[in-house]
A and B are shown apart, each in its own frame.
Chain A
Amino acid sequence: MIGVMNSVEAVITSIQGLSASSEDLSALHDLLRGAQDSLRAEPDVNFSTLDQLDASKHSLGYLYFLEVLTCGPVSKEKVSYEIPIISRFINSCEAGQIRLASDKFVSLCKRLKDHVLELRDPLRGVGPLLTAVQKLQVSTKRLTALHPDLLQLCLQAKSYKSGFSILSDDIVEVDQPKDLFLYCYYGGMICIGLKRFQKALELLYNVVTAPMHQVNAIALEAYKKYILVSLIHNGQFTNSLPKCASTAAQRNFKTFSGPYIELGNCYNDGKIGELEALVVAKSAEFENDKNLGLVKQAVSSLYKRNILRLTQKYLTLSLQDIANMVQLGNAKEAEMHVLQMIQDGQIHALINQKDGMVRFLEDPEQYKSSEMIEVMDSVIQRTIGLSKNLLAMDESLSCDPLYLGKVGRERQRYDFGDDFDTVPQKFSM
C-alpha cells in the first residue's frame, strides 16, 4: 500500500497491520514517508493519538507520530510533559524498527537531551540515552550520533561511570567526523573525572591526531587537556605533536595553546616554584578554558614525579630529605605524598614513622599470578581482534575507487619507471 493517506485513522490502521514482518515494515515505512507532511499539518494529531499504538510492537509508526508531536518550539510545561513520554518510548521501542528510521530516532533523542538540559536536570536523560545508544547501534564497533550527546549529559550530571560504560568498545566505524571528535573529547573528560588517565590520553590522542582540513576547535581543546593529562600521568611534556597528526594541527595547535606549552616546558625543568608562579600568572587563561582544576593536578603531580625520581636513585631516604629535595614544606607533607603514591601503586615503599625513614622497594609483581595471566590474555585477545579489524579495513580500502584514483595520481607524479604497473586508467580521477 503505497501512496499518500489523508486520514489519520487510516495511517493508524496501517501501522497496526503492517508492523509484524520485515516485508510489511518496508511497505509501512514507504507509506509513512509519504504521509508525514500531511500528518504534520493534521490538527487532529495529538498525544492521545498514541494511545491507539503499542510502542514496543508499533515502534516505527509510533516514532513517526512522536516526532511530529514533539517538533517545533515548546513551552516549559510542554517540555516537562514530553520528557517522560519520549523516555518511555525509548525504553519500550523495538530496536529493529527504529533503525529503519534512525534519523528520526536520533532527532527525537536529541530533543530529549535538549529538554532535560532546559530543565537543568541532565541526569534524567542519562538512562534513556544510554538505552537509545544500545538500541541504535548495529554493532558496538559503530559510533552513533547519540554517543556525544550521552557523554555530554553524563559530564553535566557528573555521572562519570555511566559515561564510561560506552567508552570501552573499540570504535572503528564512524559516519560523521564531528561525532568522533566529540566522543573522544567528552570521553577523555569522563576518564579524567574517573582518574583513568591512560584511557583519557588514548581518547584525547585520537582527536589530536585525527585528519582535519582546518584546525578544529574540539581538537584544539583536546590538545590542551592532552598536554595536562600527559603531565599528570607520564610526568613529562613533549613539545612536538605526535608524528601522525595532520598538517593543520602541526602548524596551528601551538599558536592557540601558548600557556599550556609554557606550562609543559616549565614542568620539564622540574622547578616547582617557577611552575606555581607560572600557574598564577596564567590563571585567567586556564580558568577561561575551565582547565584550572586540571592544571592544579598537574602541579601536584610534579611533586610526585620528583619523588618518583628519588626512588630510582635511592634505596632509603628520610621524609625530611624528601621534603627538602622536592621542595615540600615539611616532612609531614612529604609523608602525605609518599602515602598517596603507595596507595595509587605509583611506588612501592615502607615508612618507618618512628625515625621518619622511607625504604623504597622493588615492584613485587612477578607477572605469574592467575589474575595477571587473565589480564594479559584479555589484552592479547583485544589486540588480535583489532588486528583483524585493521586487516579488513585495509582490504576494503585497497578496493576503494577513490583511494585507487588518488594512488594513480600520486604514481603519475612520481615516475617509478617500468618497475611498477600503472593503475588502470578507469581509476584515474
Chain B
Amino acid sequence: MAPIFPEEENEEETKREMRPMQLDMLSEMDDAGSSMAMDVDDLEAMEILNEGGLVSDNKLADADFFNKFDDDFDDTDIN
C-alpha cells in the first residue's frame, strides 16, 4: 500500500520543490588499504622472468575450478 500524505501545497504552485544547497563537509574517503600494490615475491626478478606481467589464457592459475552454476541472479531470484 502506497504511503499517502494529505494535499498541502497549492496546485498552481510549482510541482518541483528543490532542496536547499548543502555543503559537502566531508570529502570522499579513499579506499582503505595500503598505498602500494601487494608483491608476493621480489618484483624485479618477477619482471625479468615476465612473472606478474601480461599473461595468456593458459597461464591462469586454478583455471579448472568449478564455476558451472546456473545463472540465477536476476530480479526474480527471491530468497
**A351 contact from B2, B51, B52, Cβ within 8 A:** B2
In the complex, are the beta carbons of B60 and A215 less than 8 A apart?
yes
**B12 adjacent to chain A (CB < 8 Å):** no
Whether B75 pairs with A296 at a CB distance below 8 angstroms is: yes
Interface extent on B, as a size class?
35 or more
Q: B23 contacts the other chain (Cβ, under 8 Å)?
A: no
Nearest A residue to B18, CB-CB: A314
Do B5 and A350 have beta carbons less than 8 Å apart? yes
In this assembly, does A56 line the interface, its C-beta being within 8 Å of a C-beta of chain B? no
A142 near B: Cβ within 8 Å?
Answer: no
Rounded to whole angstroms, the CA-CA distance of A296 and B74 in the bound complex is: 6
> Could you say which of A161, A181, A287, A300 contacts B62, with CB atoms under 8 Å apart?
A181
Cβ < 8 Å to B, chain A residues 335-371: 335, 339, 342, 349-355, 357, 359
B35 within 8 A of A: yes
**Main secondary structure on B side of the interface with A:** loop
B36, A243: Cβ atoms closer than 8 Å? yes
- B39 cross-chain contacts in A, Cβ below 8 A: 246-247
Q: Are A194 and B75 in touch, CB under 8 angstroms?
A: no
Query: B1-43 interface mask toward A, CB cutoff 8 Å, 1 = contact, 0 = none?
Result: 0111101010100011111000000000001011111111101
Contact B35 A243 (CB under 8 A): yes
- Across the interface, B60 reaches (CB within 8 A) one of A216, A294, A354, namely A216
Contact of A293 with B77 in the complex, beta carbons under 8 Å: yes
The contact of B18 among A194, A247, A313, A359, by CB within 8 Å, is: A313
Known A243-B33, A244-B34, A246-B38: A293·B74 in contact at CB below 8 Å: yes
Which B residues between 51 and 69 are near A, CB-CB below 8 angstroms?
51-55, 59-63, 65-69
Q: List 20 A-B contacts (CB under 8 A).
A: A155-B69, A156-B69, A189-B69, A193-B77, A209-B38, A212-B40, A213-B52, A213-B61, A217-B60, A244-B34, A245-B38, A246-B52, A248-B55, A287-B71, A290-B67, A296-B74, A297-B74, A315-B17, A349-B3, A350-B4
Range, interface on chain A: 35 or more
Chain A residues with Cβ under 8 A from B61's Cβ?
212-217
Q: Which residues of A contact B17 (CB under 8 A)?
A: 314-316
Q: Is A123 an interface residue (CB 8 A)?
A: no
Asked whether B75 lies within 8 Å of A300 as measured between CB atoms, the reply is yes
Q: Are B74 and A313 in contact (CB under 8 A)?
A: no
Q: Among the listed B2, B5, B55, which residue makes an inter-chain contact with A252, where contact means beta carbons less than 8 Å apart?
A: B55
Greatest chain A CB density within 10 A among B7, B35, B38, B66 is at B38
In the assembled complex, A70 has its CB within 8 A of some CB on chain B = no
B16 close to A314 (CB less than 8 A): yes
Nearest A residue to B59 via CB reads A214
12 additional A-B pairs beyond A193-B72, A316-B17, beta carbons within 8 Å, are: A152-B66, A158-B72, A182-B65, A189-B73, A194-B79, A243-B33, A244-B33, A246-B39, A293-B77, A316-B15, A317-B16, A318-B15
**From B35, B40, B62, residue with most partner A Cβ within 10 Å:** B62
Contact B67 A342 (CB under 8 A): no
The answer for the CA separation of A252 and B11 in the assembled complex, in Å, is: 58
Shortest beta-carbon distance, B49 to chain A, in Å?
A: 11
Instruction: Specify which of A161, A217, A291, A315 is in contact with B79 (CB 8 Å cutoff).
Output: A161
What separation, in Å, do the CA atoms of A247 and B52 have in the docked complex? 6
